[in-house]
A and B are shown apart, each in its own frame.
Chain A
Amino acid sequence: MIFRQYMKRAWPLYVMIVPGIVFVLLFRYYPMYGVVIAFQDFSPAKGFARSPWIGWENFEFLFSLPEFGRILSNTVIISISKIVADQVGAIILALLLNEARRILFRRTIQTLIYLPYFLSWIVLGGILLDILSAGGILNQAIRALGVEPQLWLGSNSWFRGTVITSGFWKNVGFSTIIYLAALTAINPVLHEAAAIDGAGRFRRIWHITLPGIRPTIVLLAALSLGDVLQAGFEQILTLYSPAVYRTGDIIDTYVYRVGLISAQYSLAGAVGLFKSFIGFILIALSYWLADRFAGYQIL
């Protein structure tokens, strides 16, 4: 009786949530079940249910491949370099923008550096392939300065640097805005009081502004832990070529090539599961750290 009374009012809530549940079951949970292919000798004709089980064989094969160490270290090196460059760059830019007093100037700069964030890696990649090509404008410019032109995308000595720099170009504006939002939340009274006490501009930046954004720095550092296996799949797939596999091939691009180009589903599934598993631990850990040290809760 009480239940019926409750349902009389609450039933629309359950109807509303059904479509979302259906989509998540179909496109998030069903593929999770699909990770069983990592333990099978999977063939599409037999499907998940009837492909033969082979235990850990795919993983043993995977860990014995010379490519495995390479894609793992490339992924981690590129993603950590990107995180550090992005965060340090964004903090510096936010501090400098915060010191620029003219509002119109500040807004204009913000608008300009934030634009690439909303462009796809196809558009940005198309631009980069053009300006970084052998006869592109960058090589023309450095030749005018008397420096040898370089293969920015085609040589193993430059590829990672190019990926990190172009990632910085796309993403730094976004992180800068987050820090700026935190900076504007600092109470100006603190600055005024410090100024009356004789603290100069740089001491105020050091003792008031920086501590003011420390929670944000800690929070973003904690959350970025969840991205350590995300080196930028769409970016690298757009920019790389076989010539730079040694320094630029990452887990995701490897999965794509092995799984979807060569149709070795089980091997690619094993690599994918390895990544999902470690990735899940990292994300869970990053949320825990963000909660513990910055009081951040997603729910």
Chain B
Amino acid sequence: MIRDTTFFSRLFDGFNYVFLTLFALLCLAPLAHIFAVSLSGRAPATGGFVSFWPVDFTLENYEQVMGSRNFVRSFLISVIRVLTGTSLNMLLIILTAYPLSKTPRVFRGRTIFIWFFVFAMLFDGGLIPLFLVVKSLGLLNTLGALILPNALPIFSVILMMNFFRGVPKELEESALIDGASHWRVLWHIYIPLSLPAIATLTLLSAVNHWNAWFDALIYMTDTANYPMQTFLRTVIVTLDLTQVGINPQDLQRLSDRAIRGAQIVVATVPILVVYPFLQRYFIAGIRLGALKE
């Protein structure tokens, strides 16, 4: 380790620490402000008297949010979506990545299959044709519309495939010679050895499902089927009081400023809970897959 002790170098260090601290605080300030608003009384929140510390501290906004049937229903829909959508994603990613990670000698036709998937990733049919397809399959207003169209994220398959290729071939070869099938090799060798990559992709898939909102906006014609982020769009972004399905008084109540803050916080908490894991795996994931050398 080199130590720079010249005057300019130390001055630079000082500025550097101050600048980075201020920058990080600035990134965090909007979140902190909303958190303070969500814990404040309604009058000071609406009047704009809250900065970064709650005024007239209260938990009532959270009680209101958790007491709203519409909000709780949308929260539950999101939970179901995350559980089913993530499981389906991981099942398909692993099943697809395993054969593709083989050489063309072991898996004949690999080259054709891989281009089949890569082209599908690169060329996008566009929003309208996809909407018409989902509609013609009768998926509107079903959970299927939210988890089936993106059931196989192709970029994740490629990451998984690249990881599988790093698994030592000797293990697999000896297992196959001993008469194990590819099912057993996948289950007993590849999956246990790929847990870090599987964990990364699982977290990413879960976060994507939790955060998704646009698909529900177009595929759900009945707002009672909205997952939480789409529901929140109605309440905190468009403030659309004419939306059917949500009782107007309930919506009016939920769109109060302090209560909007509380809903934003509730939507953020699950991300904060998985954030430490996300960070740990994700940085490793960037190194090994997305930007392999």
Contact = CB atoms under 8 A, between A and B. Distances in A.
B27 A112 contact: yes
B149 A16 contact: no
B89 to A, nearest CB: 11
A126 B236 contact: yes
B48 A135 contact: yes
Given A112-B24, A112-B28, A273-B126, A20 B16 contact: no
A116 B29 CA distance: 11
A93 interface: yes
Interface stretch (A61-69, A75-83, A155-163, A279-287): A279-287
Contacts of B158: 298-299
A17 interface: yes
A99 B118 contact: no
Contacts of B4: 200-201
Interface centre among A44, A123, A125, A296 (most CB of B within 10 A): A123
A145 to B, nearest CB: 15
Q: Looking at chain A's contact residues, is the secondary structure mostly helix, strand, loop, or mixed?
A: helix
Contact of A123 (B126, B148, B267): B267
A105 B17 contact: yes
A114 interface: yes
Contacts of B261: 130
Contacts of B117: 20, 24
Given A127-B30, A135-B48, A181-B286, A34 B271 contact: no
A115 B275 contact: yes
A216 B292 CA distance: 11
A212 interface: no
Contacts of A32: 123, 125, 129
Contacts of B128: 34, 37, 255, 259-260, 265, 268-269, 272
B184 to A, nearest CB: 9
A269 B129 contact: yes
A126 B21 contact: no
A187 interface: no
Interface in A1-59: 6, 9-10, 12-14, 16-17, 19-21, 23-24, 26-35, 37, 44, 47-48
Contacts of B53: none
A60 to B, nearest CB: 19
A299 B118 contact: yes
A97 interface: yes
Interface string B101-112: 010001110000
Interface string A126-162: 1111110001110010000000000000000000000
B77 interface: no
A70 interface: no
Nearest to A220: B291
Interface string A193-236: 00100001100000000000000100100000000000001100
A101 B1 CA distance: 10
A259 B132 CA distance: 11
B133 A30 contact: yes
Q: Looking at chain B's contact residues, is the secondary structure mostly helix, strand, loop, or mixed?
A: helix
A23 B257 contact: no
B59 interface: no
B129 A31 contact: yes
B123 to A, nearest CB: 5
B30 A120 contact: no
A259 B127 contact: yes
Contact of B129 (A37, A101, A116, A279): A37
Interface in A108-125: 108-109, 111-116, 118-123, 125
Interface in B38-76: 48, 51
A255 B27 CA distance: 32
A123 B23 contact: no
Contacts of A169: 27, 30
Given A37-B132, A201-B4, 18 more contacts: A13-B182, A16-B95, A23-B152, A26-B137, A29-B120, A99-B13, A105-B17, A109-B20, A109-B24, A119-B211, A123-B232, A127-B34, A127-B264, A128-B30, A130-B261, A137-B48, A260-B131, A269-B128
7 contacts: A13-B182, A17-B113, A20-B95, A119-B268, A216-B291, A280-B122, A280-B123
Interface of B: 1-2, 4, 6, 9, 12-13, 16-17, 19-21, 23-25, 27-28, 30-31, 33-34, 37, 48, 51, 92, 95-96, 98-100, 102, 106-108, 113-114, 116-118, 120-137, 148-152, 154, 157-158, 176, 181-183, 186, 207, 210-214, 218, 229-230, 232-233, 236-237, 257, 260-261, 263-264, 267-268, 271, 275, 278-279, 282-283, 286-287, 291
